[in-house]
Amino acid sequence: PVDMNECGPMLLDALIKIKNEQDPTLTFRRSCREGICGSCAMNVDGANGLACLTYINKESKDAHKIYPLPHMHVVKDLVPDLSTFYEQYKSIEPWLQSDEVKAEGVEHLQS
Residue 60 predicted with pLDDT over 90: no
Least confidently predicted of 20-24, 36-40, 87-91, 93-97: 93-97
Model pLDDT, residue 61:
83
Cα distances (Å, whole numbers) of residue 31 to 34, 38, 103: 9, 8, 35
pLDDT in tens, 78-100: 999 999 989 999 999 888 888 88
Q: How many helices (H) does the chain have, and how many strands (E)?
A: 2, 5
The pTM of the full predicted model, rounded to 2 decimals, is 0.79
